[in-house]
Chain A
Amino acid sequence: MNTFTITHTHHDRAEIVHLHGYLDAHTASQFERDLRVIIEQGDAHVIVDFEHLDYISSAGLGVFMVFIEDIRKQGGDILLAAMRDNVFSVFDLLGFQVLFRIFPTVDEAMAALSNNA
């Protein structure tokens, strides 16, 4: 049933947040709670690794909107990476690429941060 887990690792310039499972109206509150802790304790930049996320709905997208304004005011950013096609399609349907940079891999997201340094 509705499994969702979040783990994170710290790298030189960013917290890398790894999502696993299903991010929907049932699990989005857990994601918001956990991401808030990671952002408050970690680096200004966050890279979200979607490689192991099987599903996302609008509730999951909403969590990114909760944090993006504050994190950019602090000079940071949220970069999204390694989405599966079905996950990317949800972001794409609503045009989220206007606000978020989406990378094919975590390495490319990290490289983008390094290039901005």
Chain B
Amino acid sequence: MSNDIYDIVPLRISPLTHNLELVRSYIARAMTSTLLTSGEQHGIVLAVDEACANLMAHAVSMQPSHDIEVRVAVTPQDIVIEIRDVSEAFDPRTVEQPDMAVYFREMRSGGLGIALIRRVMDTIDYLPASSETPFNRLILRKRHRSAS
């Protein structure tokens, strides 16, 4: 993906959960001019919140100075959100999805954030940091209904 599609100023936050509200506001503002329904917009805000919260909770190597950067692009076909971080790589696509029948029967708790992201977004891509790109990239896409 080219960086050129990100036409909205990125949001940079420290990896602390009190910043989640900033993330939600940033994503919500980016979608105000789209034709996405309020339900779709809420779902996308939720997915990005979950992705950032997951980073904050599990990135044990993350230091307060290691900001998370959120970028968003709205194209005629879709909305694309990219979340960049410099912690240890963690590909959420590798997480086994919970069988909710078993989850409820055993009354488990936790571990539902990635399941929510999968239910809301159309595609999830992950590119770990490399010699060319010194940060991990989690890329979430949601197609506009008129483009699907």
Point out which of A58, A93, A99 has the most chain B C-beta atoms below 10 A from its C-beta.
Answer: A58
Would A59 and B24 count as touching, CB distance under 8 A?
Answer: no
Asked whether B129 is an interface residue with its Cβ less than 8 Å from the other chain, the reply is no
| Chain A contacts with B in 29-80, Cβ cutoff 8 A | 55, 57-59, 61-62, 65-66, 68-69
Would B50 and A57 count as touching, CB distance under 8 A?
Answer: yes
Would B39 and A89 count as touching, CB distance under 8 A?
Answer: yes
Q: A2-B21, A65-B107, A85-B39 are in contact. Are A57 and B46 (CB under 8 A)?
A: yes
> What total of chain A residues lie within 8 Å of the partner, measured CB to CB?
26
Q: A25-B56, A57-B50, A89-B42 are in contact. Are A62 and B109 (CB under 8 A)?
A: yes
Q: Give the interface size class of chain B.
A: 20 to 34
User: In angstroms, how far is the closest chain A Cβ from the Cβ of B40?
Assistant: 10
| Chain B contacts with A in 94-135, Cβ cutoff 8 A | 100-101, 104, 107-110, 112-113, 115-116, 119-120
| Chain B contacts with A in 76-104, Cβ cutoff 8 A | 100-101, 104
Asked whether B53 is an interface residue with its Cβ less than 8 Å from the other chain, the reply is yes
Chain B residue, CB-CB nearest to A1: B21
> How does the 8 Å CB contact mask read for A80-116 relative to B, with 1 for contact and 0 for none?
0000011001100111101100000000000000000
Would B104 and A99 count as touching, CB distance under 8 A?
Answer: yes
| Chain B contacts with A in 48-67, Cβ cutoff 8 A | 49-50, 53, 56-57
Would A90 and B116 count as touching, CB distance under 8 A?
Answer: yes
Chain A contacts to B: CB under 8 angstroms: 1-2, 22, 24-26, 55, 57-59, 61-62, 65-66, 68-69, 85-86, 89-90, 93-96, 98-99
Other A-B pairs, 5, CB within 8 Å; known A22-B21, A57-B50: A58-B50, A65-B107, A90-B46, A90-B116, A94-B119
